[in-house]
Amino acid sequence: MRIGFISTRLNGTDGVSLEVEKWATVLHRMGHELFYCAGELGGYAAGGCYIPQLHFDHQSVIAFTQRAFSEDARGRDVDKLIDEIYEAADEIRAPLRRFIRSNHLDLIVVENALTIPMNLPLGICLTGLIAELGINTIAHHHDFFWERERYQSNHLLDMLDTAFPAKLPTIQHVAINTIAQQRLKVRRGIDSSVIPNVHDFATPAPGIDSYNSDLREALGLTKKDLFILQPTRVIPRKGIEMSIELVYRLGLPQSHLFITHRAGDEGLEYWLWLKREAGMMKVDMRLIDHLIAPDRSMSNHHKIYSLWDAYPHADLVAYPSIYEGFGNALLEAIYFKRLIVVNRYPVYNADIRPLGFEFVELDGFVDDHAIVKTKELLNEPGRVQVMAEKNYAIAQEYFSLEVLERNLREIIASF
């Protein structure tokens, strides 16, 4: 089959781009030929069809988003806004149609572009184009608009309920968790399959090698220092304040908290508040996004490490998220067999916790039990190893590429 992926961005370490790479790996393995189209391309998608207006950061797209969802947009002419969105959708229809037709695609996979309205014209365009061409489509949903607070106040509910997601006979819908699946059915009457995030658990995790052996030194750490890793962006739903509280209450000397991904995606106010909190608690919290990138490289004669270089050095991985669509970083921490502290976010409670994993759990705050258990485990590496092996086996059973392949075969066969 000739299969095309369409998204706003197919590059970097965001959840959508990472999951598309896994789908691509499996689909290649199944013998399919793949094509890519987005407003930003890189890595596995490099050389694909580049349409700048597909990116959510395109100037025109940002302007539509601000007018549609900003609180100060109240009272604007909604009819004019809708007309302009449809005009912008018309501008990208021809290049998208050309991408589908010139590559003779049998199936398209729309990655989150019919789910979250970060690019309103793209969602409208795809809805019309799928109906026009009657092309078989998998709509892969990572974040619905009703799950995100910033989209709750809007002036375009009819439009959102038409295209995000679209309900068409040639679209098969895929959610990444059971909560989203149930809400999609209740809210829109749309049936969907659940395909969770996955990882290549059949391939052993890389360890410390000649390239990354000096990472602790680069971070100013000794072998005796406690390296606590939070492999997330700096945004409020990642719950970084719980990691600060954890480090503070552990009270262990030479403890250091490292955040791997950049601040500023949703403004800098949260990061500035975190720095004040860490300062008052005398917690050494550092942002190391300048040292961590998707791939190893050199910059100004200095090493840039991959995120996978950090995991093997970490004594503890903190994942105190308040909300996640699923939890890629949690799967990665399991893959590297780390001691993990996790907050019980809703999808974790619904789809992950019941499978029998063993973590240190938080319930929205750092309690005494979590502190006692974490201290015990830090002093019992043998016990941590047994827990890690058990977690790995469970994850391999439920969240592997082999599981993804079975699910994709079923969906493709259903068309």
Domain ranges of the chain: 2-198+401-413, 215-398
Name the amino acid, one letter, at 91: E
Residue-level pLDDT at 186 = 96
Residue-level pLDDT at 268 = 87
User: In this structure, which topology does domain 215-398 adopt according to CATH?
Assistant: Rossmann fold (3.40.50)
Q: d(Cα 180, Cα 85) in Å, to the nearest integer?
A: 27
Q: For the chain, what's the residue count?
A: 415
Q: d(Cα 279, Cα 390) in Å, to the nearest integer?
A: 37
Low-confidence ranges of the chain (pLDDT < 50): none
DSSP designation for 42: -
Residue-level pLDDT at 71 = 66
Residue 67 has phi, psi (to 5 degrees) of -70, -35
Q: For residues 229 and 260, is the Cβ–Cβ distance under 8 A?
A: yes
CATH of domain 2-198+401-413: 3.40.50.2000
Q: d(Cα 82, Cα 70) in Å, to the nearest integer?
A: 15
Residue-level pLDDT at 73 = 53
Q: Dihedral through CA 191, CA 192, CA 194, CA 195, nearest 10? A: 170
Instruction: Say if 2-198+401-413 and 215-398 have the same CATH topology.
Output: yes
Residue-level pLDDT at 318 = 98
Terminal alpha carbon distance of the chain: 12
Residue-level pLDDT at 166 = 95
